[in-house]
Structure 1
Amino acid sequence: MRWDDGQPWRFALDLRAEAGGKRWSWRGVLRRGDNRMDLAEPLVLVPGLLVLGVGRAARFDDLGVMSWIVRLRLEKEITFVEPQQDLMLGRILDEARVPASELVESMALEEIAVKPRPSLTLRTPRQNWGMAADKLLADLEFDYDGALIPAGRTTPLAVSTEVGLVIRRDPRTESAADVKLFELGFREAKDPRLDPNTLELPAKRMDAVTKELVLAGWRIEAEGKLIRPAGEFKLALSTGIDWFDLDGGVDYGGQSVSLPELLSAARRGDTMIELGDGSMGMLPDEWLKRYGLLADVGAEENGALRFNASQAGLLDALLENQPEIQIDEAFAKVRKNLRQFDGVVPLDAPPGFHGDLRPYQREGLGWLDYLQRFGFGGILADDMGLGKTIQVLALLQRRRFRRQAKGPALAVVPRSLVFNWLQEAEKFTPRLRVLDYTGSGRHPLREKFGEYDLIVTTYGTLRTDIAELIEIDFDYVILDEAQAIKNSESQSSKSVRLLKSRHRLAISGTPIENHIGELWSILEFLNPGMLGSDTVFKRYASSSNVEGEDRSLLAKALRPFILRRTKSEVVKDLPDKTEQTLYCDMEADQRRTYEELRVHYRDALLKKDSAELNRSKIEVLEALLRLRQAACHPGLISPDLSSSPSAKLDMLMPSLAEIVEEGHKVLVFSQFTSFLSIVKERLDRDGLVYEYLDGRTRNRSAKVDRFQNDPDCPIFLISLKAGGLGLNLTAAEYVYLLDPWWNPAVEAQAIDRSHRIGQTQHVFAYRLICRNTVEEKILDLQQKKRDLADAILNADNRVISGLTRDDLEFLLS
């Protein structure tokens, strides 16, 4: 027996196609290098040894599959039809340690090792199976470069003759996919009629699960429809005469969806959209979160979204830093103009303006000029006391001087501010021709509007006369305390939107009092159509939605149209203390109460001769005191009138609310504790927190400490006698003097409760004076007879003896 000392022979499998590839057969062969031998040729074939008929023996490697070798030596071949091909290959690879290279070579297959892509098929159970209708069934497979391998197999290799591959499986990736599905709520179906590897999922979880898996790169098919993630976005913005068109769409693996279709589906609350090939496209949440507002504020026009010119700022903010969006040259120019806001040039006070503008006011005038140059409306929202009215008057004077004004400007203001507008205009812009369009005798004045530069009226007058006012072309319409139109359904709001003007402007220290949705009405007046419909904006801007990026986006869109400076931002431009007298106009009921008293005391006192008048000092003091009280509030005359209207309260309460809204603190002084009690009732009604101090207060230090240190206590009501001395209230930045104290020392003491050593903020002090009352006449008299005015206000009957009959007639006139 000769021994062959060469390499061992090895068992291999040979695959042969028959009947045109419809039937296959396996045969065993022995191979050594390029030599081949039929499996039946050796006389003896045992593990480790084979013996040939010529008396030659050699080594043999059975690869541990002697059972296959024995079977094939007996049966010659194993046959199977085409559908069983991959299964049989799998069995061979599962059960035999036949080298993959040998198998691949015998079948002309390629062995690969790639990372698989999980593929999940979702379906509903068959109706007649009696399974729960709220469940979905799922089958997991893994896509190895085109070869789908079902989950659940444990063998390291799998075969796909269709794609000509032998796959080396990736157990780590497959295991991670199993774990992921479990985390998402999938569980084994446990139904004997189903494949053991079938999973089930609550149907309500489908949208969330699908979204997460598709975005993670999985292939998902639901009810026979492939679910595609959004691909590339292609958008282009073009400019028309007075509009912009945003055109384009999103690609879903070769299937395109137009922008209006996409946004319309999002508006309906859909999470997917059907594509042209029957597959489903996932709506891109992150993209829609940023651009979903486009669908609400734009209008579909010929397959594009159309926006009006006033929406340029919103478009600029929405489309910023998006390279996939192409913009035309015209919109690029609009964008440049919008962004010039950062470079607004401060302007000096125009010729004809009396006084100086502070640096921040010069910047404000530059901003107002920027708005009118580009045809925008805006909100001047500086802190109270920073001179918003003065900046607007400077703008109107500038337009008058440059002959830009085309007709008069209309200022719509609360009744309590009419006189202050007239007074400020007279002081700072005396060349402006100003008309007071209020009161019952106003109607003939409409014919003379063209002779004036500025018409001042009230919201109430506007509502009453709107039918006539809408026929007039104004150069500017200006709304002071513009939060008065925050309710878009109010008559005031509807009326101002009907007015015709070249330019529009709003003034408000608190354009947002409760929530950001209040801005819509003001901005709709300023720039019609800018924010879409009222309903859309309020839904988008609701407190639960506007957070983080959305809030930043909205702020960026509105930034060019709102200018707000706080006291702390401009403190370097302010003097330490600013004092101003504010004039109030009584409503009819309060005027009637005051006039009844005035006539009563006039008739009673002026019928006396000079000698009798000199002996009636107490009566004179009582008359003047009662008239001063009536000027403050009718409730000081009679408790039954405590709920009556008061011009001073009408001016005070909105100002207090604005100060609190801005985060500041305020002192409110009055000589009359009964007036402070009425103020307390109003503060309680409005939910404003305060402290109170009068001559009967015992725990003064505790109240002062609370006001000074508690950020939730912004208001301090103080009577003159209690608060004149010894209090340090430097937390306050505003001081209101509700009734006149023209003894300079007494008034200074009150103001200095706030403005003293330790105060680091600028202090604003306001005196409230009712027009056409004894208060105003005392102010006039003060200029002539200082001592007499002080005596009246301090009830000093020693000095009041110098009051002449002419003085009394003047005071009671």
Structure 2
Amino acid sequence: MPLFTVEHGDATRFTTAAETFAELLAGRGQRSAQEQFLVLESLADDGRARAVDHGFELTADEVARLPRDEAGLLRLPPRFTGTFDVTVRSVTSRPDFTVGLALRTDRYEEPFRRDGATVLLGTAPYARAYRLSPAALRTVRAIQAHQSLDPRARTEARNARLVAELQAAQRMAASHDPDIRDETFALDLGHLDEFTTSTPSKVGLRVEPQADGSLVVAPHLEGVEPRALDTRWHQLPSDTGADGGVLRVDKQLVLLDRDQLEGVREVQRRPRIPKEQVPTFYEAPGTFFDPDLVDVELTFMWLVAGLGRLAPVSYAEAAKSGTEWINPDHGVTAPEVLAERPQTTGEQREIEQSVEDARQRGDDLLTLGQDVVDISDHTRVDEALAASRCRLAALGVDTSPEAATEERDSGPKVRVGWVLDDATSLADRLRTVAESAPLRRPVDYAALGRRPFPHQVEGVEWMTRLMQASLEGADDDPGRVRGGLLADDMGLGKTFMTLVALGETVRAAGDAGNAVRPTLAVMPVALLENWLDEIGDTFGSPHGPFDDVVVLHGDGLRHYRTGRGRESAVNEEHLDGAGMVRDDVLADLMLLRVGAAWGEARLDRPGTLVLTTYETVARYQVSLSQVDWGVVVFDEAQNLKNPDILRTRAAKALRARFKLLATGTPVENSLKDFWSLLDTAQPGLLGSWAQFREEWETPMSTASGEAHGELGRSLRAAVGPYMLRRVKEDHLTELPPKHVHSGRHGRLMPPEQVAAYDDVIARYRAKAGTKGAMLGTLQRLAQASLHPGLLTPDDGMDDPFAIRRSARTDVTVREILDQIRSSSEKAIVFCSSKAMQRTLALWLRELYGVPIDVVNGDTPATGRGDTRLRKIRAFEARDGFGVIVMSPLAVGVGLTVVGANHAIHLERHWNPAKEAQATDRVYRIGQTRPVHVYHPMALHPDVDSFDVNLDRLLRSKLALKDAVVVPESVTEDEIARAMGLG
């Protein structure tokens, strides 16, 4: 019995009988019901549907954006392809402004009624049902909402918002996203078409230096004249619960959603940066404004008083690109001005010091009076300063150090302070302290629930020595051991080793009679269940050596929360004159039960292990930063690779004697990832980002071959004992062999696939040079190479024999999976496309008669239902042959799937690090059978296909295993050039 639909206002519910739903959960039932169930389950995993009793519920917006094939499977009405007639009365400045709407499918208008995303056209009993597209739904909603307003509420701002909504709907209909695009949708807005509507994707910063050295900061909206906004901000609603707002700038309407409106408010809360904080702001604007709300990196904008407006530039690009990008037309002065500017020895010294300070911060722009000087070319800057010294000497100005000293002595006094060791000597001291750290007591391995491997003994004792060494020295001593990076290859047991080391630290503190500080472990939500299981397996009890284990997520978070909201959002009155949160209001901002005042109800009880997520740390950063943690562990620490985002800053602000960062991929994209991790674990070890970039990142970005590997090994030596990095092949000698079958499962495309592939190329050549043509072509080539039916989803994709229409799916099933079935073994098929995941699961279920689960990126990680872990364990527990379909990203966070020993990458990930993470779900401790890795490929009969080019590029990104750097991601530009598109 198929599922049936019931309309509920702005939501659609799909339910069935309890016994039918139970059969579907078990992978049984009629094919039509199974198809519907897989569609709905996939939507729920993706967060687009909500589970209800014996079914699922979708909002109207989600129903509207369903692709045609999914909507057909769910028995939803066809898309409305008729005409929208709008009638505009009056002008937006008047309260009698209205917009009427009528729908028709032929020459005559018909009455209609909207129910969620469905419209009923005509009168009973002959009414016909149609499903609205996202653009059509947005139009009908906006007009109906405006019509329901009291005329007194139809202010100019509210009327302008309706116009903005209608124009946004027009752009939505022309979207490149096939699920949103509606080529039949059109609106004639009459005189309202004279307005232009923009919907900025980001809220940025506009910065204007002041005469006193401070900065005035205002919100910047891409595509809007900045000065024009200064007198328009009052048009935005003051209600903090508003869903958004609209700004009217002459004939331009700027539509802001709720998050963008909050971003504007975030910037407006801090309109001025004091002079003493300006250097810090230039170095890291993300420490002043919440990067979750404000794009401090990509839309940074310079406005210089007295010189005119500079062109909007990216702050990151300004810091990297130098004079080739920032030219005099933008208002930036060439460095040669430094040869003429100083008039005295003191001015010379002051400018030289300013240049040096800017270099230390990594800045390539220097504000000098009314000029912004480009100092990116160090050679040109040094030559200009040398020329200035020669000029002053020729003029008879004494440029000796003594003269400079005399001039300083006669001038105004300045504040002085202690100068810390330079980065090099600090790094040497830190390495010496860590290298000499002893193991103060033997580890009690006999008390563990399982026997560690030799490499795990080494890892436990490495962590234990550093944790014990961290207890020595004052909290603020920069030379104290503060943390470490456990960068072992995936599958070596990082969680197990971490728990044993934590247990030793807790026991050592207890034996010494000291209070045992609480411990915090931060991880992706998918790993919470895994950590709880590991605690029981490692110590033989749910708590192990800890007095209690608390999961600060879901129900656990609700138990310890005292209020709702974001601790990062504060009112202006909470800040002192320097823009910092006042100490006396900290307690009012805390929304968790932390501190002695809560007694036994507090979260941070001595001896407690708290498990939580990165999102929770960011949201409750004030509360968690007030706890004196003993050890803080960051599992899957690549989540902290970006030093500017809120979660990284919140992680660095946590107070702890020791911070352990654990990740199998210390570099995912660039060496900035690596610096960010080490700077969180052991600040100062690698110097500032500016120093690290000059010494390591820039040279490694241009090196290749052995030179690249040598730099990687040198960087590894510079980190010294603060990082432990081992690979499986060197330490798990008992692991079975791993066979990578690259290039062995290629098959010529069948004629239909060749035709689809060639058609994509032909369409590109016809549009070459148009905006977005290359990116769209790459996406369609990837689809055609996976299966041509993805380009025409209604064309028989529900038939299992459609497998043969693609070389890649055909070789996967008839050559690889058939062989695995004959061996009664299990396989994971990795695939990113949601449509192919669902279709493949249906094909395989019908062909092989076994349950086929789908685990994609948003399959619930915790809860009472089918979580990722429960689906995986059920798959492993079934006897004999089995297949599970997974997104490569869904298992990239520490999950183990050793019940399978075949990994099939039906769809390749462009980042080899992500692909390796997926493969290593099956190749790790606990695997007893030989592991096989497959890369099925579709071959074109005449040219190197997409698959061949991508495989070649991915192979070129592999790095030496003993260097720090791990595989780099393939860029769209690289694959486009390989395909002859770029």
**TM-score higher than 0.5 here?**
no
The normalised TM-score by structure 2 is 0.30
Pair member with larger Rg: 1
The normalised TM-score by structure 1 is 0.36
Name which structure has the greater RCO, CA cutoff 8 Å, separation 6+: 2
